[in-house]
Amino acid sequence: MKHASGAIALLSLVLLAAATPLAYPQARSDNTVDTYFGVQVPDPYRPLENVDSAPTRAWMAAEETLTAQYFAGIPERARIKAHLERIVDYARYGQPFHAGSHYFYTYNSGLQNQSVLYTMDGPHGRPRVLLDPNGLSSDGTIALGGTAPTYDGRYLAYATQQSGSDWQTWHVRVVASGRDLPDTLLWSKFSDATWLHDDSGFYYERYATPEAGETYRAALPDQRVYFHRLGTPQSSDLLIYSDSAHPDYFYGTDVTEDGRYLILTQSSGTSINNRIFYEDLHSLHPHFVGLFTKSDARYSIVDNDGSRFYVDTDLNAPNYRIVAVDLASPQRLRSVVAQTSDDLQSAGSAGGRLFLSYLHDVHSVVREFAHDGRLVRTVTLPGLGIATGFDGQRTDTSVYYTFVNFTSPAANYSLNIGSGGSALFSKPHVAFDAAGYTTREVFYRSKDGTRVPLFISYRKGLRLDGNNPAILYAYGGFDIATLPSFSAFVASWMQMGGIWAVANIRGGSEYGEAWHRAGMLQNKQRVFDDFIAAAQYLIAQKYTSTPKLAVSGASNGGLLIGAVETQRPELFGAALPSVGVMDMLRFQDFTVGKAWISEYGCSTCSQAQFETLYAYSPYHNIRPNTVYPPTMISTADHDDRVFPAHSLKFAARMQTDQTGSAPIILRIDTKSGHGGGKPITKLIDDYADEFAFLVRNLHMTLPANY
């Protein structure tokens, strides 16, 4: 009886701790008020935008201490972390690609912080390590960014990125020896490298050197295109293209497979509409000539036969089509493959064929076409899921692709272009019995009656009694489709007895450009309505219930979670907004925020846009004396994509206005950024904290065999 009494007393202490409001650090505030079109808008936590000030640093340190203490009080966290380390420890291969006779792929043995780049001579040669990023830092926070081999595979340009920052440093490695040349290029961001076919150098994009203290904060104007000649210092790089009159433009370059044309793509911010110029590299006086200059649609060069180019475009085709255009008469477009009722997600070429990957109710259908538009075959895929790749060279007889779905990890295949048969190249083996789990695709109606897809994955035999813990995830923006994919972390959540649900809400590209436009600018509220309706569907169908339902999203998806929990705080059992855009009135003032104006609008552009943004801006819609669900807000100190002050201000205001005992936790990751290149050790800690937070706040009991 003494032991039983002790257990009851311990349980009482745990319940008391869970019901006691946390003592939050006091953030510095002031009386800042901005006026937009006659409307006065308080911004009390403006001082937190100075993330390097002593008061802000002290407050962040106090928040980190509180967060660490909170997780130290959740005994299940250690068990969750140990399980994550076991399930993530499996060999993973990247999709192979080749340049000349040199083949490349990435490989991770399991718990390596960063995947290693391998090369081999020929498709069946002996693999050897070409570049191991794990040796570049002791903690795995230097990641391999872009890679670009020369056409013959002699050299490899590669970028490194440190602590999760978007800043890239370019290097050049000799493939045969594995040694680096002295060439080092700084202050590049959102850039690839494009080689001339004579291996003399490559094109890349960069910015001016930022001022001291502004490396991770300052708005970035005026990206420029440069050419770097091997063996010369960066200061000698040749400026190829810039437009100071339009500092928000982004650029991309490519050299056609025949080596004759340099393609320059120009876009305004994150708008999908773009312009394309070309330069004849065989000309005595090469100069850029406009091919598509109206920015009236998206244009992407897929392939060329001399001066005839094959282009993927949504011009007069919201689901995209393939057209041909000859440089001799660029005003005449000839339709090669017409649009269909399904969205054309990607187009590639290999072996003299065009490979078009369509999205049919959010799973891939891949069709192979001749260049005259004749359908050769519909590619037989390993099952229902997502297939990506299908891009190579004219002389290829086979092409690689990757196939994945919610319960099957990414496997790589080689497709024989002549026969259409697929051969397995690599398939991972995970400590997860996919046969014991199922994924259902259902459709629900949003607030305005729109039919929206929802994927629901869970252990077979699960009772639909409303008592199941669930995570509802979505993104909903920037023409990005949320596609079925496998995650060992999600698999671990399902092994815990959890449901994983993904809503394909408007704002993405699941049903073409019309689906995107239905959730952008003045239509953004539809995105939140779609997500709320997904939550209501899961509850109504008894997959879960409000006390058991967590919602999760990152970046634009973090904005989504911040918006829905401030609009419907009573609907959710927990909220997990990560690296979110929370201040919709000032996002354009930091890092690359101006690039998002084409998606969101901006608070100073027009009264109508201000009113739209103000109505849903998460930071501005936190209300005093409101009961918000348990919330874990995540950001990172080196996030130069979404400035950390978004999450800092949101957390400070929510902690102040929260009524009741539900925790509002601010998790600040150090030496980390927006998510790209994050080492596996940090990812494991991320998910261990997230799942521990949900175990505590959704009142879960871990299975005995977990």
First to last CA, the chain: 30
Contacts of 494 (CB under 8 A, 6+ apart): 437, 457, 458, 459, 500
Query: Residue 493: phi, psi to the nearest 5?
Result: -60, -40
What is the per-residue DSSP string for 238-280? EEEE--TT-TTEEEEEEE-TTS-EEEEEEEETT-S-EEEEEEE
- C-alpha dihedral over 337, 341, 344, 345, to 10 degrees? -170
Q: Is 657 exposed, middle or buried (0-12, 13-18, 19+ CB in 10 A)?
A: middle
What is the per-residue DSSP string for 406-472? SSS--EEEEEETTT--EEEEE----S--GGGEEEEEEEEE-TTS-EEEEEEEEETT---SS---EEE
Query: Residue 516: phi, psi to the nearest 5?
Result: -65, -50
Q: Which amino acid is at 158?
A: Y
Q: Which amino acid is at 169?
A: T
Question: Coil, strand or helix: which one is 135?
Answer: helix
Separation CA 477–CA 519 (nearest Å): 7
Whether 5 is catalytic: no
Q: Out of 165, 357, 555, 672, which one is annotated catalytic? A: 555
**Residue in 677, 494, 665 with CA at minimum distance from that of residue 83:** 494
**Residue in 701, 571, 596 with CA at minimum distance from that of residue 646:** 596
Cα 605–chain centre separation = 27
Question: Coil, strand or helix: which one is 330?
Answer: coil
Question: Coil, strand or helix: which one is 662?
Answer: coil
Separation CA 575–CA 572 (nearest Å): 7
Query: Residue 108: phi, psi to the nearest 5?
Result: -130, 125
Cα 640–chain centre separation = 14
Positive or negative: CA dihedral 520, 524, 529, 532: positive
What Cα–Cα distance (Å) separates residue 22 from each residue in 16, 530, 622, 689, 691? 12, 33, 18, 17, 20
Place of tokens 């077979």: 460
Whether 555 is catalytic: yes
What is the per-residue DSSP string for 495-527? HTT-EEEEE--TTSSTT-HHHHHTTSGGGHHHH
The secondary structure of the chain in percent helix, strand, coil, rounded to multiples of 5, reads: 25, 35, 45
Place of tokens 């800690």: 685
What Cα–Cα distance (Å) separates residue 124 from each residue in 100, 102, 553, 661? 14, 11, 41, 61
Q: Which helix (H) or strand (E) holds 56?
A: helix 54-72
Buried b or exposed e, range 325-357, using 16+ CB within 10 angstroms: beeeebeebeebbebbebbbbbbbbbbebbbbb
Place of tokens 């937009």: 36
Q: Among all residues, which ones are annotated catalytic?
A: 555, 674
